[in-house]
Homo-oligomer: A and B are copies of this chain.
Amino acid sequence: MARTTVEAVDFFYLAMPVIEDVGDGSQDACVVRVVAGGKVGWGECEAAPLPSIAGLVAPMSHSACHPVIDSVLGETLETVEDIHRIAARVRARSADMLQSSHILSGIDMALWDLLGRLRDEPAWKLLGWKKSYPKLPYASVLFGDTPQQTLEKARAMTAKNFRAAKFGWGPFGTKDATYDADHLVAAREGMGKDGILLVDAGTIWVDDVERAKQTLPALEKTRATWLEEPFISSALGAYGELAKASGGRVRLAGGEGAYDFHVARNMIDYGGIGYVQVDAGRIGGLTDAKRVADYAQAKGVTFVNHSFQSQLALNGSIQPFAGIEKDEICEYPMEARDVAYAITVERLDRGADGMVRLPEKPGLGMTVDTARFKPYLLDVEIKVGGKVLYRTPAI
């Protein structure tokens, strides 16, 4: 019998007509289509689309710097082990192309979707979970420009029946600790005393532990469930120091910058985080994300998806921890742009109980309709030495 092999890998660059200079990752999308055995799988990179497309097709530089597509096209895709093998192959052969982890992420997601369709199983089942548990979505919103705006945003989330909300970026951390405290008090007031309040500093303090410490008392007083990304992902020492300084009264969250299993593991082992936030669209897809979920369980750390893009990416980000009942909180983009809803026919809307459930259908269980996203499609053409290496494929 003929083997089932990967026949095509195509990247699509979607974008809103205008991209605003704000911390909202849903303004564009790097969507991946993979074809094998008469089935089509879809994934999405949480990545800058243009360098990702370029790295997909870039001419080889040397044996550890291959174009990513060369390690995927023509590979056998019949089992879970095949996906692991393809991922390892990309890692080894494109190790020196930094962007390759982001590129792999969307491909890996599409491979799980595709294998699920070939095998008639949901991706989460192929990942080894027996059941997909409902998740409690928290609304991801930006801090307001003023504490008053933050209060109003928190009230709006409560009115929309969100028990949990995360406030991030904006002016938080850019001024002094008193200013931060004003925003935190406003957010807590708007969420009510039983609301789950999450805070995202958006790496604003880079590696400045002393500055971060100043905001700990307000975080503790407003009972923030976590403080996310006080520092850049690589500043493990700073994370570790702050975790110690907090005395366990403010838990740290981080990991969205992780581009492989080990980077996330290091944040657990050395950064002292209590919540590991993994974006399947960055870490290398569902494969490495699941590995982190398993490691987190062994270490008593809570896994949370990171997702600030489309409904497809959100779905892919939840699959790796679908089967962990106690890790209930899940990120859920609330203010996403139109393009984020234009990729799939289905949406991961909250149920009547306010919970989010993954589809039980094969793969990621969503239908991608290219006609829906065509209005957002940007034609890309890349030529090197007079030869066209990439041109947006027909849809």
Contacts and interface: CB of A to CB of B under 8 A. Distances in A.
Interface residues of A, number: 71
B62 A232 contact: no
A93 to B, nearest CB: 9
Contact of A384 (B50, B234, B270): B50
A262 B99 contact: no
Chain A facing B: main interface SS:
loop
B262 A207 contact: yes
Interface in A238-258: 257
Interface in A253-267: 257, 259-260, 262-263, 265-266
Contacts of A47: 96-98
Copies of this chain assembled into the complex:
2
A27 B236 CA distance: 35
Contacts of A19: 59-62
B234 A62 contact: no
Interface of A: 13, 15, 19-25, 27-28, 46-55, 57-66, 88, 91-92, 95-99, 101-102, 169, 202-203, 206-207, 232, 234-237, 257, 259-260, 262-263, 265-266, 269-270, 282, 378-386, 389
Contacts of A259: 98, 234
Given A237-B265, A262-B236, A379-B386, A58 B63 contact: no
A58 B62 contact: no
Contacts of A260: 232, 234
Contact of A236 (B50, B62, B266): B266
